[in-house]
Amino acid sequence: MAFGRKNPDAPRIPRNHRTGASPFKVGAVVLAVLAVAVYFGFSKHVPFTHGFRVKAVFPSANSIRVNSPVRIAGVNVGKVKDVSRQPGTNAAIVTMEVQKQGLPIHKDATVKIRPRIFLEGNFFVDLQPGTPGTPTLGDGDTLPIAQASTPVQLDQVLTALQQDTRKQLQQLLDNYGRALTAKPTPGQDAQQDPSVRGLTGAAALNQSYKYGGPAFKNTAIVNDAFLGEQPHDLSNLIAGLNKTTQGLDQNEGALKDLITNFNTTMASFASESGNLRQSIHLLAPTLDNADKALTSLNASFPNTRAFAREILPGVRETPATIAASFPWIAQTRKLLSQSELRGLVQQLSPATADLARLTDRTLKLLPQADLIAKCATNVILPTGDIKIADGPLTSNAENYKEFWYAMVGLAGEGQNFDGNGMYVRFQPGGGDQTVSTGSVGPYTNTPLFGNAVAAPLGTRPAFTGHRTPYKPNVPCYTQKVPDLNGAATGPPDGGGSARAARSAIARSAARQAQTPQGGLTADSNSLTSQLVSRMNPFRGKGK
């Protein structure tokens, strides 16, 4: 059984007798397909299509040709597709096709025709894509002639060197050579630096070469700094300078005044050349200190940025806070109106003035009240707590209580039986004992006399015959508590009964020594409460 044949019973046909596609045709088709694939692989161009194209108007085509390269920063990004003349002018329109790696191209882009070989031959288009952030060009847009330039040709250089120009150039070179080889005069040397005196210009110039290395190095650093920290910093600076120049050109009068003032300023600087030289000499340490200060300032920026980020929520809430405060401000304005607090303040002004005067006088009153309080606390109240020993008449009560007892006794003694008034009772009498009071002035300035039935026992304290000195400049609270039991009794008999009285006084003083004196009691709250309590005749009645 045969497999793979549609009809196994059909007769077999030899290979050389079979008909079908010609091997030549098959090979030709394969070669054509391979050719197309290789072409697409190397040219990377699809027929009947084109990439991004942009046109530029040049003052001259300058031997630029179709398929000349288009470069950005030395890298090929496209080719020239067409060169044509602009109608009615000598300018040329160059059509360029730019690949994706050369996009985008901005409207302030510039193009130049530059030679790949020195002086002549093999030109290419140098494309500067423009400033980022400016509008971009679309497919088919055209750059104006103001943004295009061509290189200077050798024939233009040779045309500039005419016979008179060449002669002047020869004279210039001859004079320059003489200046380099001429010996300086003593007068010229006097004004020169000591290191170059006596040297020719060429020798002095050769000697300056040893300073050229550091100088060129610093110049290179400065030039590198002029490039900026970011791409297109220098181009942006030039663009800004261009705008500034255009602005200055708009007002020639102001520019003229600026130049005049600038000349005056430079003249002032020239007159102060010595001080200016000293300032420049001090500029290096100043810049060093400024660099350190700026370094410290830069180190503080992270904290400042963090603070700025933290304060942003508060700043965002500030408008709402201000809006919410408007009703409060409106109410406050009404509260401070003439009909409210402002009028009240005007009405209270007289009282405020009186209160101020009262405060001033209170400042004088309070020290005196303090002295009175100290006197009552340290002297008067402790004196009232002393129990006076009076022999057989001793009551063992504080003397301030005895005062109230006397008041009660007088009140009871003067009572009427029907309650319609008080009696004043006197007990007149006589005797053979004459008693005198001494002078009672200032009205009569004479003594008073009386008769007693019995001779007086004496007085307490004993009369010494002179007054106790009064010292108004000594504060009361600094005085000692008086010893009411230490005064001797003055009897007429020269001391007979006085000794018994003193014995009783001594016993009372001994008991009094066990009672604390010299201040308020432990359960007191204030001087006022003590005074009120002690003036109350019923204090302690329930104990």
Q: Which domain holds residue 225?
A: 161-250
Q: Is 469 a domain residue?
A: yes
Q: Are residues 243 and 384 in the same domain?
A: no
Angle at 145 between CA 67 and CA 114, to 5 degrees: 45
Q: Are residues 396 and 529 in the same domain?
A: yes
Domain tally, the chain: 3
Q: Is 220 a domain residue?
A: yes
Q: Are residues 123 and 196 in the same domain?
A: no
- Edge-to-edge, what's the strand order for the sheet holding 69-72? 142-143, 52-58, 92-98, 75-85, 69-72, 123-128, 110-115, 148-149
HSE of 258, CA atoms in CB hemisphere, 13 A: 7
Q: Are residues 129 and 181 in the same domain?
A: no
What is the C-alpha to C-alpha distance for residues 95 and 114, in angstroms, rounded to an integer? 16
Q: Is 304 a domain residue?
A: no
Q: Please identify which residue in the block is written with the tokens 């401000």.
A: 329
Q: Are residues 516 and 396 in the same domain?
A: yes
Burial of 187 (0-12, 13-18, 19+ CB in 10 A): exposed
Q: Are residues 471 and 518 in the same domain?
A: yes
CA 423 from chain centre, in angstroms, equals 89
What the block records as the tokens of 255 is 């520019």
Q: Are residues 132 and 178 in the same domain?
A: no
Of 197, 217, 250, which closes a domain? 250
Q: Are residues 374 and 511 in the same domain?
A: yes
CB 505 within 8 A of CB 381: no
Q: Are residues 65 and 102 in the same domain?
A: yes
Q: Are residues 169 and 143 in the same domain?
A: no
CB 126 within 8 A of CB 110: no
Q: In 3-state terms, what secondary structure has residue 124?
A: strand
Q: Are residues 154 and 206 in the same domain?
A: no
Q: Are residues 120 and 167 in the same domain?
A: no
Q: What is the pLDDT along the chain (543 residues), one digit of tens a residue?
A: 444 455 556 566 665 555 656 677 777 877 887 777 776 666 555 555 568 899 999 988 777 888 889 999 888 999 999 989 888 888 889 999 999 888 899 989 999 888 876 555 578 899 999 988 889 998 889 999 888 887 766 556 666 666 677 778 888 888 888 877 888 888 877 777 777 777 887 887 787 777 777 778 888 888 888 777 777 777 888 888 888 887 777 777 777 788 888 888 888 888 888 888 888 888 888 888 888 888 888 888 888 888 888 888 888 888 888 888 889 888 888 888 888 888 888 888 888 888 888 888 888 888 888 988 999 899 889 988 888 887 777 888 888 888 888 888 777 777 776 666 676 666 666 778 888 777 766 666 777 778 877 777 766 666 666 677 778 888 888 888 888 776 655 554 444 444 544 454 455 445 444 444 333 333 445 555 665 565 555 555 444
Q: Is 60 a domain residue?
A: yes
